[in-house]
Structure 1
């Protein structure tokens, strides 16, 4: 069971918390109907995203066996056979589809976002991961689809500033991941890395980081936001967001592999800062 869970990349389910963003910022977190839909949606999106990881590991099994760290992955190490991996993919697809029906019924928009997410990621596995810029763009689309999906299953509109914040942040995370892959493994670890260099990745990474803070700040002072939260206290979360971004950047500049989930989970102080931000935002919105 441990190897199956590892193959499914369960720790990456943390990314799917973005699905809750429309619910939280619309002050509907305690709406039981919408909350239940979002929880089912979270599990649906999480399980279906695992299919992408399983198929990707099947496709890359020979290359992973020659990699210094990826050789420890369940399929590459032989802990899970390719036949077992295919059976697992079919099983979790059925479970994921069932959860998605519980989340949104026959909501065409929600189903479309799930299908597009899975389709984009299959395209990534089948060749787009070797195309510069396009590889990062598909990774970014995954974060955006999570928010769009959360919006679709709850029928809650999200501010364009928040969408831009998510997009800019996702480009920052994606560029940071490629930067550290190039730094730690060199261009031989991925075909696409031969098209990148440290200067390009650094400049664009920090440009996207700056835009993330700018877009988030603009959302905080947007008239619609102020109308929804009259005290206008959200603007005071901007300095904390800046501190979180600086701490994350410091970690990325270190010896990490650049994977966003790993960078966060391996730093207790960064986890504490993130939890502090969540608590403050919840207090501002709901108290």
Structure 2
């Protein structure tokens, strides 16, 4: 009898860990894209703006959790053949598909409801994000080219939602940098996945439609688009306030970071961009220097 009474106590922490794993907290950093527009607009240091963008980021995180949970249910058969993804809760059998979909529905509703106080523009962008990502999960991820565009669009929608949350206008250059920068990261991830020894066309079937040469071309196009868009935004401040001119100088570490990541991809790394940022000293140094120059250019001027 004692063993029967103790079993649920032991199971609860394991179930909780499975739900945390299903929610993929290692991916929540993507919601930082919502801070980009308020930061670039120079209002992130204002308390009201910081509160609103943090609220929006939390809501988008809930939406992303819904997408991840749904994706794990949809991908469970393929995940079981992947050396790393086979440990995901649904693939491993620690959470049932029905329970995972219930969790997805709950977090999706909570995320949309949480956006209502921020205004209808944020709600519309949030629903657009959720809808596009669910379409990706249920089929678009198997359509070559469309899959990378949809993933990249998710980052752009996050960035636009951050601007809408604090009611600041979004420049065309900002949107282009967001789009091309996201395309660059997605293309690098696909290129690294295709080159990985574990890639067999089953864990991500769409990889079979991509040639290495085409992915290299996409990386080049995205690199040029991101660097030129950022340069046109940054260099518009030349000849103004001395601190504003630091934005033009920030182009160097920005370009260095892009080129360094491209090099890592070409040598077989880059499948997890967020990990490479902290593993590679050059990439980390470029990121820190870029952040300091942009912060000084925007907030000391």
Pair member with larger Rg? 2
**Equivalent residues of 2:112, 2:126 under 8 A apart:** no
Q: Is the 8 A contact 1:18 1:143 kept in 2?
A: yes
Which of 178, 198, 201 does residue 187 from structure 1 map onto?
Answer: 201
Give the one of 101, 107, 125 matched to 1:92. 107
Which residue number in structure 1 is paired with residue 5 of structure 2? none
Mark the CA change 1:144 to 1:196 in structure 2 (over 3 Å): closer, same or farther: same
The alpha-carbon deviation at position 276 of structure 1 amounts to 2.7
For residues 266 and 52 of structure 1, the distance between their equivalents in structure 2, rounded to whole angstroms, comes to 28
Query: 1:5 Cα deviation (Å)?
Result: 2.0
* Post-superposition offset of 1:187: 3.0
Please give the residue correspondences for 1:1-287 in structure 2 after superposition, counting only pairs within 5 Å: 1-102=16-117, 104=118, 107-184=119-196, 185-222=199-236, 231-256=244-269, 258-267=271-280, 269-287=282-300
Tell me if the contact between 1:75 and 1:81 (Cα under 8 Å) persists in the aligned partners. yes
- Cα–Cα, structure 1 residues 156 and 274, in superposed 2: closer, same or farther, change >3 Å? same
| 8 Å CA contact 1:252, 1:263 repeated in 2 | no
Shift of residue 199 of structure 1? 0.5
State the secondary structure of the residue aligned to 1:222.
Answer: helix
The separation in 2 between residues aligned to 1:94 and 1:150, in whole angstroms, is 19
Q: Cα deviations across residues 32-68 of structure 1 (Å, max 9, x unaligned)?
A: 1111100001111112111101001001111211222
Higher relative contact order (CA 8 A, sep 6+): 1
Cα RMSD (Å) of the superposition? 2.1
Which runs of no fewer than 5 residues in structure 2 stay unpaired?
A: 1-15
TM-score, normalized by length of structure 2?
A: 0.87
**TM-score normalized by structure 1?**
0.91
State the 1:265 CA deviation.
Answer: 4.1
Q: Tell me, which stretches of 5 or more residues in structure 1 are unaligned?
A: none
Q: Secondary structure at the match of 1:189?
A: coil
